[in-house]
């Protein structure tokens, strides 16, 4: 598909994606669920490439939620192994497009091998500033907000802060990646209309694009369609529509 980012009036700086439908994609083909996840990992790569082409600075993908630990051990193990093999597969792409890898979530809860593999790419790409690829791993938004609240409470307790100084910006500043701008666009695949504990604070003003496409079928073309849908929206932040 030929896509010209110049044809769009506005490109979001940050797109967050809930990658849903891997299991159903596999099930419909009579394959084990992990095959859906593997194909989904190819979609992540396609989205990274498309985002770099379109000039999107930040991509956040919801790869593993705090709730996902409850999945059968075999699937959890398969996902952790897939994460390692995917990082190997993406590495060159990250360097070619100057993409910095970051992670958000309970890093310490991940298996040692995964942490080590992540650390290698986190370090190797830390100097890139053009694009950022954020993987939400063992991530839960309520937990993130609770963690931020605890940190702020500790500062009040120690006298570093006063309770009356707490405002929205201060809460944002205590989230996992305070320097990352809020996503302007959130994409969820496979048609579900839920946030599933993903970036609850950061998505307060974001546009949502829900597509019936299963994540393994979400590639460059579908990403560009999401950008086009975003472009057609009029964001007002609760204000009055401006007259043109
Ligand atoms: C949701 O589909 C998907 C996940 C829980 C895992 C997503 C992980 C990947 C795409 C693996 C690669 C990721 C990276 C960053 C390398 P589901 O299993 O809930 O699907 P279903 O709702 O159809 O069962």
The verdict on residue 51 lying in a domain is yes
| Domain limits for position 64 | 10-140+182-231
Determine if ligand 1 sits within 6 Å of the CB of residue 227.
Answer: no
The verdict on residue 24 lying in a domain is yes
The verdict on residue 33 lying in a domain is yes
CA of 241 to the centre of ligand 1 (A): 38
Give the pLDDT of residue 244. 44
CA of 62 to the centre of ligand 1 (A): 8
Give the pLDDT of residue 4. 80
Residue 96 tokens, joined: 């070619």
The verdict on residue 3 lying in a domain is no
Run means of pLDDT, 10 residues per run, the chain, 244 residues: 79 98 98 97 97 96 98 96 97 96 97 98 97 98 98 98 97 98 98 97 97 98 96 75 52
Determine if ligand 1 sits within 6 Å of the CB of residue 121.
Answer: no
Number of domains in the chain: 1
Q: What are the C-alpha distances in Å from 219 to residues 72, 84, 127, 138, 228?
A: 28, 21, 27, 24, 14
Give the pLDDT of residue 242. 56
Residues in the chain: 244
- Of 22, 88, 217, the residue with max ligand 1 atoms within 8 A of its CB, to mutate for a pocket test, comes to 22
The verdict on residue 47 lying in a domain is yes
Give the pLDDT of residue 2. 66
Nearest residue (by CA) to ligand 1, atom 6, is: 63
Determine if ligand 1 sits within 6 Å of the CB of residue 22.
Answer: yes
Determine if ligand 1 sits within 6 Å of the CB of residue 61.
Answer: yes
The verdict on residue 175 lying in a domain is no
Which residue, 71, 77, 132, 130, is CA-closest to 103?
Answer: 132
CA of 40 to the centre of ligand 1 (A): 7
Give the pLDDT of residue 135. 98
Residue 119: CATH number of its domain: 3.40.1180.10
The verdict on residue 177 lying in a domain is no
The verdict on residue 127 lying in a domain is yes
Look up the pTM and report it: 0.95
């Amino acid at each position: 598909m030929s896509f010209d980012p110049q044809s769009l009036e506005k490109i979001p700086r940050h797109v967050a994606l809930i990658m849903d439908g891997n299991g159903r994609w596999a099930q419909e083909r009579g394959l084990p669920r992990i095959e859906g996840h593997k194909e989904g990992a190819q979609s992540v790569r396609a989205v990274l490439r498309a985002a770099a082409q379109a000039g999107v600075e930040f991509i956040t993908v919801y790869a593993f939620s705090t709730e996902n630990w409850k999945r059968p051990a075999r699937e959890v193990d398969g996902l952790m192994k897939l994460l390692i093999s995917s990082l190997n597969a993406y590495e060159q792409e990250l360097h070619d497009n100057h993409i910095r890898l970051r992670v958000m979530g309970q890093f310490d809860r991940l298996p040692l091998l995964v942490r080590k593999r992540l650390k290698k790419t986190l370090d190797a790409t830390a100097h890139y500033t053009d694009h950022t690829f954020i993987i939400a791993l063992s991530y839960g938004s309520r937990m993130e907000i609770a963690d931020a609240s605890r940190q702020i409470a500790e500062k009040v307790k120690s006298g570093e802060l006063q309770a009356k100084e707490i405002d929205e910006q201060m809460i944002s500043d205590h989230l996992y990646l305070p320097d990352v701008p809020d996503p302007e666009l959130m994409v969820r695949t496979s048609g579900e209309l839920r946030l599933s504990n993903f970036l609850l604070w950061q998505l307060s003003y974001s546009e949502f694009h829900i597509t019936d496409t299963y994540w393994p079928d979400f590639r460059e073309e579908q990403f560009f369609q999401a950008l086009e849908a975003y472009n057609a929206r009029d964001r007002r932040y609760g204000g009055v529509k401006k007259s043109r």
